[in-house]
């Protein structure tokens, strides 16, 4: 593959951070990989309009042979279909991005979501499901903000302020380019239609495009939030949890569902029921449970995995599959929660 960008100051590296330019300028080089020429052109046009420097990385097949040269601080990949060769290319890129400390953004389809999620287990990527053009620009702004935070020792206070200001500018440009909710709602509806209702667990409240937030599992039973196993109550009856989920869903029949968006809790309930049923939950199914657009749900899942509330579970028999489950601490916390809230109800019923 012919490299369209080289860094003369770092000729020995195939990945180099750009110097801060123009009074705190940002390292905003984005390498774009996609099998379709039209897709690469569209991505480049939109990102260039938002002030990013883009590099045409070429088709996915270029990642299969020879060394994988990362040409930007952010690598964006379009992967709507995950065939055998594409899967191999994506896994190789995932490993290379993780080694380089770059940021990876992958756009995909609902059909390929589970396979894409399973293939990306090293680089901590951002996955976008059927994103709008605006969603893609916002995603680049987000990962650049993360990139700046991870390099805090290399940045001045002015640099960090410029980074925050630039992120806001990116979102403003994205909003002008295209309404942020239009395509997301379409993708969300497609996600629900794609899922098999009999084989997946449905979540709770209907949601809005809510940003992820950290959630931690705490305990009053041991110092430092450690969980004690003594007198640990059992998991709740999964039928009870399913009834709670159905009750939460029913609210959207009478009120605007956005009033009750709570994807973290909805996913906790879904995974609690699944654990009690001894069933596994795919990423697609958990996105449905969150009742928010798939890309938003994926951001929540990432946050909850990062904070130890959820854990990623690989399928030992199929590398193309991965599941999400409650961590042991979360499982114990949910057991204690239900034991605490159920007891008063049982006493009232008696």
Q: Parse the chain into domains and list their residue ranges.
A: 8-177, 198-349
CB neighbours (10 Å) of residue 165?
A: 12
Please list the pLDDT of the chain residue by residue as tens digits (350 residues). 333 333 333 333 343 333 223 234 444 689 999 999 999 999 999 988 888 889 998 998 888 876 777 667 899 999 998 877 888 889 989 998 998 888 999 999 999 999 999 999 999 999 999 998 888 988 988 888 776 655 544 445 555 555 555 555 555 555 555 454 445 455 555 555 555 444 444 433 333 333 434 455 554 443 333 444 557 788 899 999 999 999 888 888 888 877 788 899 999 999 999 999 999 999 999 999 998 889 989 999 999 999 999 999 998 888 778 999 999 999 999 999 998 887 665 445 44
| Phi, psi angles (nearest 5°) of residue 347 | -65, -40
Task: Give the pLDDT confidence score for residue 162 in this predicted structure.
Answer: 54
**CA triple 88-92-93, angle to 5 deg:** 120
**Long-range contacts from 165-171, C-beta under 8 angstroms, 24+ separation:** 166/26, 166/51, 166/141, 167/141, 167/142, 169/50, 169/51, 170/50, 170/51, 170/137, 170/138, 170/140, 170/141, 171/137, 171/138, 171/141
Name the nearest CA neighbour of 180 among 293, 49, 284, 266.
293
CB neighbours (10 Å) of residue 73?
A: 27
Name the nearest CA neighbour of 108 among 85, 86, 135, 77.
77
Strand, coil or helix: 282: strand
CB neighbours (10 Å) of residue 28?
A: 22
CA distance 155 to 149: 9
Contact 259, 253 (CB under 8 A): no
pTM for the model: 0.69
Look at the alpha carbons of 290, 293, 296, 297 in this order and tell me if their dihedral is positive or negative.
positive
Name the nearest CA neighbour of 78 among 57, 98, 95, 92.
57
Pick the CATH number of 198-349 from 1.10.3720.10, 3.40.50.300, 3.40.1280.10, 1.10.10.10: 1.10.10.10
Task: Give the pLDDT confidence score for residue 15 in this predicted structure.
Answer: 36
Domain 8-177: give its CATH architecture: 3-Layer(aba) Sandwich (3.40)
Strand, coil or helix: 281: strand
């Amino acid at each position: 593959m012919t490299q369209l960008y080289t860094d003369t100051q770092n000729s020995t590296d195939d990945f180099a951070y750009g110097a801060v330019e123009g009074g705190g300028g940002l390292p905003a080089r984005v390498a774009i990989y996609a099998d379709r020429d039209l897709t690469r052109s569209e991505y480049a046009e939109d990102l260039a309009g938002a002030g990013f420097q883009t590099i045409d990385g070429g088709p996915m097949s270029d990642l299969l042979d020879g060394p994988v040269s990362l040409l930007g601080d952010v690598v964006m990949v379009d992967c709507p279909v995950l065939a055998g060769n594409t899967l191999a290319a994506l896994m190789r890129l995932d490993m290379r991005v993780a080694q380089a400390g770059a940021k990876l953004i992958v756009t995909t389809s609902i059909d390929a979501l589970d396979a894409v999620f399973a293939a990306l287990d090293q680089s901590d990527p951002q996955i976008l499901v059927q994103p709008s053009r605006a969603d893609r620009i916002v995603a680049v702004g987000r990962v650049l903000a993360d990139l700046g935070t991870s390099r805090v020792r290399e940045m001045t206070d002015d640099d960090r302020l410029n980074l925050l200001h630039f992120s806001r500018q990116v979102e403003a440009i994205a909003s002008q380019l295209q309404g942020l909710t239009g395509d997301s709602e379409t993708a969300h509806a497609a996600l629900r239609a794609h899922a098999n209702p009999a084989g997946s667990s449905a979540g709770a409240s209907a949601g809005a495009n809510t940003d992820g937030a950290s959630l931690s599992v705490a305990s009053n039973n041991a110092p430092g939030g450690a969980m004690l196993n003594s007198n640990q109550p059992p998991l709740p009856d999964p039928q009870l949890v399913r009834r709670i989920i159905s009750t939460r869903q029913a609210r959207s029949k009478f009120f605007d569902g956005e009033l009750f968006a709570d994807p973290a809790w909805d996913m906790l309930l879904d995974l609690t029921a699944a654990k009690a049923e001894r069933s596994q939950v795919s990423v697609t199914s958990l996105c449905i449970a969150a009742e928010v657009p798939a890309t938003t749900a994926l951001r929540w899942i990432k946050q909850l995995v990062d904070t130890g509330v959820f854990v990623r579970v690989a399928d030992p028999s199929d590398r193309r599959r991965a599941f999400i489950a409650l961590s042991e601490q979360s499982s114990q916390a949910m057991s204690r929660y239900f034991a605490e809230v159920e007891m008063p109800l049982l006493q009232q019923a008696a």
